[in-house]
Amino acid sequence: MNYTLHQLQIFLKIAELGSITKASEELHLTQPAVSIQLKNFQDQFAIPLTEVVGRKLYVTQFGREIAETAERIINEVNTINYKTLAFQGKLSGRLKISVVSTGKYVMPYFLSGFIKRHDGLELNIDVTNKLKVIECLEQNDTDFALVSVLPEKLEVNAIELMENRLFFVGSSSLRFDKPPTKKKLFEELPLIYREHGSATRNAMENFIENNRFSNLKQIELTSNEAVKQAVIAGLGCSIMPLIGLKNELKNNDLQIIPVKGLPISTTWNLIWLKSKKLSPAALAFIDYIDTEKDAIIKDKFDWISSY
């Protein structure tokens, strides 16, 4: 046996994702490079680690057991690295944060200074929809989550970061002969929604329901960026978080259309399970947020106050 740590890491990722393509994307490697490393790793075992059925890759029972062992080995190696850094007087460990998709416009700015101070930390940010973020938190698979709506069924601690405002937006090419009524905007124009489970979609649906509008022209897209590009292209209008529209508003690609009752205002919260035993890195991050939050908001998000 002469397998390498790199091969263990690659095989573990393939086993987790069930795909060479997805593993190569997450590891930032080419697909051929991942395939070669998988073959080199497989060649060291007389029993198959994977099999292909109907063009889909499956990990065998033996492969799953090897993946479990690989995970333990990699965790032990990480522990060695973290302890080495700790003895050198550096904060070490891994910080994992799950972020709802629009939160990608927020969270990096609250992390940048902290990571620069503690370059021995390993950072993992998972950007996904609200349902998956809450599921990840519930399964204790993350240190923190960034959400704009607090979960109802979980006991969490929370730090309020900043306001999140949602406006009705349309393409800059959209013109009206006179100020449009709510009814015209929400019943005659196509509306673009996020996918089910999105906090932005929930806010949009609640607004429409409370105003008793009946919209039949609906388009559903699965990310904030996709919705934004569709609005710019003139496919329809939407209610969107201001935080992700800075450049588009500045470049006059989008316009905010005034609507009575908007913007909808929520709050970005950094949350974690009350029952979670936080690592030294996680505790240090909480202290950093408490100390630096106001300065970060003033420096990076002052533009929001002009809308």
Average pLDDT estimate for 184-207: 89
Dist CA 202 CA 195 (whole Å): 9
**pLDDT score, position 85:** 65
Residue 146: strand pairing partners = 99, 270
**What Å distances lie between residue 245 and 68, 160, 170, 195, CA to CA?**
43, 21, 11, 19
Question: Helix 5-17 crosses helix 61-87 at what angle (to 10 degrees)?
Answer: 120
Q: Delineate the domains of the chain, giving CATH numbers in brackets.
A: 5-86 (1.10.10.10), 91-162+267-306 (3.40.190.10), 163-265 (3.40.190.10)
Other Cβ atoms closer than 10 A to 248? 19
Q: Can you give the length of the chain in residues?
A: 307
**pLDDT score, position 89:** 62
> pLDDT digits over 1-55, tens only?
788 999 999 999 999 999 999 999 989 899 999 999 999 999 999 999 999 888 8
Confidence of residue 112 (pLDDT cuts 50, 70, 90): very high
Average pLDDT estimate for 100-106: 93
* Residue labelled with tokens 């950094």: 270
**pLDDT score, position 83:** 72
Average pLDDT, the chain: 91
> pLDDT digits over 130-166, tens only?
888 999 999 988 999 999 999 988 999 999 999 999 9
Percent of the chain residues topping a pLDDT of 70: 98
Confidence of residue 182 (pLDDT cuts 50, 70, 90): confident
CB 225 within 8 A of CB 252: no
> pLDDT digits over 39-97, tens only?
999 999 999 999 988 888 999 999 999 999 999 998 888 778 767 766 666 777 789 99
Average pLDDT estimate for 161-174: 95
Do strands 50-53 and 56-59 pair parallel, antiparallel, or not at all (unpaired)? antiparallel
CB burial string 200-237: b at 16+ within 10 A, e below: bbebbeebbeeeeeeeeeeeebebbebbbebbbeeebb
**pLDDT score, position 254:** 96
**pLDDT score, position 54:** 86
Average pLDDT estimate for 270-298: 93
**pLDDT score, position 94:** 85
**H-type helices in the chain, by residue range?**
5-17, 20-27, 31-42, 61-87, 107-117, 130-138, 182-183, 199-210, 224-232, 246-250, 280-300
- Whole-structure pTM value: 0.71
